[in-house]
């Protein structure tokens, strides 16, 4: 089974999607992340991936209140990322009922923070590795580093990180398919759960990722644009957990 995570990216309290992470290419899909989450549940979703895009850009949680509203929904495993740069923010989200927090830019800019967070919160901490041409990108995808993304995933595993959300930025929001080659490479890293993100558009991709023993898949623009049916995707993944 592969876990399916429908995505709600948030700007100004609204559910949006970006194209290739471009903040100038924003499309609004819903006024309320919580209402969107309830719609996903009607299709059988038990997981939800939430990103505070304002937070990712500015370095501090901006859309905390609407994430709180979603976190109060029973029966959802919610993971949240975007602007989580200190231990208090992790605690704040976990106290809301969020099950897992995702560290992004902080993992590159302040690696000791990752080590401290994993030591304190264990599996409740994941790291989002966003890659552009194989290199890690930070600050809401606005800045590309010189860090090799696959090697960084191995480093995270060695630090004790259990889950990595890996996004190929070039594929994100393009509705043209995901980068299956990179996930095949990442699946060989023992002891690390990989969540595939970025451009997943076709049922066959979910089946292939499942065969690779990839832990999870994030579905975004494809379900919002009607290119991929969420219920069919969950069924192809092996149902709910």
Three-state SS annotation for 74-119:
CCCEEEEECCCCCHHHHHHHHHHCCCEEEECHHHHHCHHHHHHHHH
In which band, very low, low, confident or very high, does the pLDDT at 21 lie, cut at 50, 70 and 90? Answer: confident
| Mean pLDDT, the chain, integer | 93
Question: How is domain 3-237 classified at the architecture level of CATH?
Answer: Alpha-Beta Barrel (3.20)
Q: What is the rounded CA–CA span in Å between residue 106 and residue 102?
A: 10
Which of 66-75, 102-111, 198-207 is predicted least confidently? 102-111
Residue pLDDT, tens place only, 108-167: 889 999 999 999 999 999 999 999 899 998 876 678 899 999 999 999 999 999 999 999
In which band, very low, low, confident or very high, does the pLDDT at 35 lie, cut at 50, 70 and 90? Answer: very high
Set 52, 130, 172, 193: catalytic member: 130
In which band, very low, low, confident or very high, does the pLDDT at 18 lie, cut at 50, 70 and 90? Answer: confident
Residue 240 pLDDT greater than 70, yes or no:
no
DSSP letter at 138 equals: E
pLDDT of the residue at 241: 42
pLDDT of the residue at 173: 67
pLDDT of the residue at 60: 85
- The answer to pTM > 0.85 is yes
For residue 24, what are the CA distances in angstroms to 21, 46, 79, 84, 92?
A: 9, 31, 25, 23, 30
- Report the largest interatomic distance among the alpha carbons of the chain, rounded to a whole angstrom: 42
Long-range contacts of 154-159 (CB under 8 A, 24+ apart): 154/189, 156/107, 156/114, 156/127, 156/129, 156/192, 157/189, 157/190, 157/191, 157/192, 159/114, 159/115, 159/118
pLDDT of the residue at 141: 66
**Does the active-site annotation cover 130?**
yes
pLDDT of the residue at 69: 96
Phi first, then psi, for residue 105 (nearest 5°) are: -55, -40
Residue pLDDT, tens place only, 43-92: 999 999 999 999 988 888 899 999 999 999 999 999 999 989 999 999 99
Residue 177 pLDDT greater than 80, yes or no:
yes
pLDDT of the residue at 140: 60
């Amino acid at each position: 089974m592969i876990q399916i995570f429908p995505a709600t990216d948030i700007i100004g309290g609204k559910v949006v999607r970006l194209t290739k992470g471009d903040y100038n290419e924003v499309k609004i899909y819903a006024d309320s992340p919580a209402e969107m989450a309830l719609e996903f549940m009607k299709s059988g979703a038990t997981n939800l991936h939430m990103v505070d895009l304002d937070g990712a850009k500015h370095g501090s949680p901006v859309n905390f209140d609407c994430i709180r509203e979603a976190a109060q929904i029973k029966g959802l495993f919610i993971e949240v990322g975007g602007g989580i740069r200190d231990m208090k923010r992790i605690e704040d989200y976990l106290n809301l009922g969020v099950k897992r927090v995702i560290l992004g830019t902080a993992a590159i800019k302040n690696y000791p923070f990752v080590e401290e967070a994993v030591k304190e919160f264990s599996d409740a901490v994941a790291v989002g590795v966003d890659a552009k041409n194989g290199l890690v990108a930070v600050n809401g995808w606005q800045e590309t580093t010189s860090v090799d993304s696959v090697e960084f995933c191995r480093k995270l595993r060695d630090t004790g990180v259990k889950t990595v959300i890996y996004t190929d930025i070039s594929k994100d929001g393009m509705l043209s398919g995901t980068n299956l080659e990179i996930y095949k490479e990442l699946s060989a890293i023992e002891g690390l759960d990989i969540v595939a993100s970025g451009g997943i558009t076709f049922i066959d991709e979910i089946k292939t990722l499942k065969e690779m023993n990839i832990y999870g898949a994030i579905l975004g623009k494809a379900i919002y644009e009607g290119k991929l049916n969420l219920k069919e995707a969950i069924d192809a993944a092996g149902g709910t957990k």
